[in-house]
């Protein structure tokens, strides 16, 4: 596996909601098989940044490329692009009127027009991998938060995306359920998946990241390997941000 | 009095027939209007909100008089049945629109996003994700509207239709058996509406416990 192959390229991205820029001139490359973790104070634009990557947010200027193809233009076929860029949300966003397996199968059957039997086999395999095969016929409301989130991950995985985006996927979970979701993600990372993760779980970031990207005030302030970043952050802003965490953890 | 029961049966058929037609058109008008509002389509959105205010703030009786007695003055003649169906649809459309709209608005935009994120088109998200959920929320209001509209048909006699109310008034006028005629009238409406009410209650309960109700 060539780690140097660029999968997703973001050049000079600017995002503005109308009252000042949320993201100003952000550039970032995601290489194949790489796990990037975006961290930063709330409101720094990291979730917005992630949502720009699959077109859920429009951008004011700049360019986004997937496999060398510009996907930020007007003529983008988002349906095709989004099959290659999976996304998992903080609030799970399972479809409450469908059973677990129907949630997982909606994409393969309606978007990719795959054979039902084949898709169902794969759905079962994936559900088994996250330990939820026995829940395949229940409705989302019968699941715990952690279980919902694992289903949401499976729903994205079954599309066979080239890259997965995780938007604070453990932020709405009870502490004891965080682990089960992070374990699934860690396993994906070990399996060579390309991932961009927005998280507040610093321990996890340290364990899973190839690169830590620190965003603040709508720009990338620092980017480094996790050991280097967490042990000796170079910028003042990153030091300050990390200090908040140590302070909080000692205070508990 | 029972020898006149067949008159009530005939009248009930008329009431049900015109009521059903009016309800069907109400649902269509309501769905279209709610979509116009949901998508905030310029110009049309304004027209819809004017229509809804006009429809909800004028009594059906007045609307029928306008159609039946007013329009012929400018050369538009509509049959009694036509007036009844148009009037009921005009009234019902706005109520149905509000019922559909409340369902659509209850579905969080994040459901749309998560559908788009797996590659569904906008239309597919509406069809597979938004509509089924919105409809299940709208059903109680839609059912209430159906019952409301059938009850409203009792003013059809004002435009010379031999509906249940008309038959009762007729019998009272002919034979002065006021109590019997009115009792039959009440019973006739109950026979029409009770099954619908029970069906609506059953449907609501089923939807609520369908396994996904929140």
pLDDT, one tens digit per residue, over B105-121 is: 999 999 999 999 999 99
Q: Report if residue B213 sits inside a domain.
A: no
Residue A251: the pLDDT is 52
Q: Report if residue A146 sits inside a domain.
A: no
Confidence of residue B205 (pLDDT cuts 50, 70, 90): confident
As separate numbers, helices (DSSP H) first and strands (DSSP E) second, chain A gives: 9, 10
**Closest residue to A141, CB basis, from B114, B121, B214:** B214
* Cβ-Cβ contacts under 8 Å, A103 against chain B: none
* Antiparallel, parallel or unpaired: β A6-16 and A61-66: antiparallel
pLDDT in tens, A175-218: 889 999 999 999 999 999 999 999 999 999 999 999 999 999 99
Alpha-carbon gap, residue B67 to B83, rounded angstroms: 6
Query: Containing domain of residue A68, as a range?
Result: 6-96+162-251
Q: Report how many Cβ contacts below 8 Å link chain A to chain B.
A: 75
Report the gap between the CA of A64 and the closest CA in chain B (Å). Answer: 17
pLDDT of residue A34 exceeding 80: yes
Do A142 and A94 contact (CB within 8 A), yes or no? Answer: no
pLDDT in tens, B38-79: 999 999 999 999 999 999 999 999 999 999 999 989 988 899
Rounded to the nearest 10°, the torsion over CA B15, B20, B204, B30 is -130
Q: Which residue of B has its CA nearest to A89?
A: B114
Lowest mean pLDDT among A17-31, A138-152, B105-119: A17-31
Cα-based distances in Å from B201 to B73, B144, B146: 45, 10, 13
pLDDT of residue B4 exceeding 60: yes
pLDDT of residue B212 exceeding 60: no
Alpha-carbon gap, residue B79 to B72, rounded angstroms: 10
* Cβ-Cβ contacts under 8 Å, A94 against chain B: 114
Per the model's pLDDT, the better-predicted residue between B1 and B12 turns out to be B12
Cα-based distances in Å from A158 to B9, B67, B206: 59, 58, 32
Nearest to B109 by CA among B129, B124, B123, B127: B129
Residue B213: the pLDDT is 44
CATH number at residue A184: 3.40.50.300
Q: Report if residue A29 sits inside a domain.
A: yes
Per the structure, the count of domains in chain A is: 1
Give Cβ neighbours of residue A61 (< 8 Å, ≥ 6 apart). A12, A13, A14
CATH number at residue B133: 1.10.3720.10
User: Percent helix, strand, coil in chain B (nearest 5)?
Assistant: 85, 0, 15
Report the gap between the CA of B42 and the closest CA in chain A (Å). Answer: 22
Report the gap between the CA of B43 and the closest CA in chain A (Å). Answer: 25
* Cβ-Cβ contacts under 8 Å, A155 against chain B: 118
* Inter-chain CB proximity A82 and B116 less than 8 Å: yes
Residue B131: the pLDDT is 93
Query: Containing domain of residue B119, as a range?
Result: 2-208
pLDDT of residue A4 exceeding 80: no
* Cβ-Cβ contacts under 8 Å, B114 against chain A: 87, 89, 93-95, 152
Do B63 and B92 contact (CB within 8 A), yes or no? Answer: no
Per the structure, the count of domains in chain B is: 1
Per the model's pLDDT, the better-predicted residue between B177 and B214 turns out to be B177
Give the SS3 label for residue A172.
coil
**Closest residue to A79, CB basis, from B114, B119, B212:** B119
Mean pLDDT of B190-214: 80
Report the gap between the CA of A239 and the closest CA in chain B (Å). Answer: 34
pLDDT of residue A1 exceeding 50: no
pLDDT in tens, B152-179: 998 998 888 888 888 888 888 888 888 8
């Amino acid at each position: 596996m060539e780690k140097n192959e660029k999968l997703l390229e973001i050049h000079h991205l600017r995002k503005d909601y109308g009252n000042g820029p949320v993201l100003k001139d952000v550039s970032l490359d995601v290489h194949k098989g790489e796990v990037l973790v975006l961290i930063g104070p709330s409101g720094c634009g990291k979730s917005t940044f992630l949502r720009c990557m699959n077109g859920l947010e429009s951008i004011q200027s700049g360019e986004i490329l997937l496999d060398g193809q510009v996907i930020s233009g007007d003529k983008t076929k988002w349906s095709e692009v989004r099959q290659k860029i999976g996304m998992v949300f903080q609030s799970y966003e399972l479809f409450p009127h469908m059973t677990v397996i129907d949630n997982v199968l909606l994409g393969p059957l309606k978007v990719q027009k795959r054979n039902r039997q084949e898709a169902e086999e794969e759905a079962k395999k994936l559900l088994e991998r996250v330990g939820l095969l026995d829940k395949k016929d229940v409705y989302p409301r019968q699941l715990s938060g952690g279980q919902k989130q694992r289903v949401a991950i499976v729903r994205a995985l079954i599309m066979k995306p080239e890259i997965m985006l995780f938007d604070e996927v453990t932020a709405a979970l009870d502490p004891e359920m965080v682990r089960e979701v992070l374990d699934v993600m860690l396993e994906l990372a070990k399996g060579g998946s390309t991932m961009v993760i927005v998280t507040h779980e610093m321990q996890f970031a340290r364990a899973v990241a190839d690169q830590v990207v620190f965003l603040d005030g709508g720009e990338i302030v620092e980017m480094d390997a996790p050991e280097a970043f967490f042990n000796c952050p170079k910028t003042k802003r990153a030091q300050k941000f990390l200090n908040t965490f140590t302070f909080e953890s000692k205070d508990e | 009095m029972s020898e006149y029961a067949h008159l009530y049966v005939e009248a009930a058929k008329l009431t049900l027939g015109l009521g059903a037609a009016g309800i069907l058109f109400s649902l269509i008008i309501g769905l279209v209007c709610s979509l116009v509002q949901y998508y905030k389509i310029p110009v049309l959105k304004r027209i819809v909100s004017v229509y809804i205010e006009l429809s909800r703030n004028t009594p059906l009786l007045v609307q029928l008089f306008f159609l039946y007695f007013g329009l012929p003055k400018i050369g538009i003649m509509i049959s009694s049945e036509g007036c009844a169906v148009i009037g009921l649809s005009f009234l019902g459309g706005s109520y149905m629109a509000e019922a559909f709209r409340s369902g659509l608005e209850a579905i969080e935009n994040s459901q749309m996003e998560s559908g788009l994120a797996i590659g569904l088109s906008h239309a597919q998200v509406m069809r597979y994700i938004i509509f089924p959920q919105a409809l299940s929320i709208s059903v109680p209001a839609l059912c209430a509207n159906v019952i409301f509209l059938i009850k409203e048909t009792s003013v059809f006699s004002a435009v010379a239709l031999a509906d249940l109310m008309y038959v009762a008034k007729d019998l009272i006028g002919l034979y002065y058996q006021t109590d019997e005629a009115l009792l039959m009238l009440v019973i006739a409406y109950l026979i029409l509406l009770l099954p619908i009410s029970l069906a609506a209650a059953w449907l609501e309960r089923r939807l609520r416990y369908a396994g996904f109700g929140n």
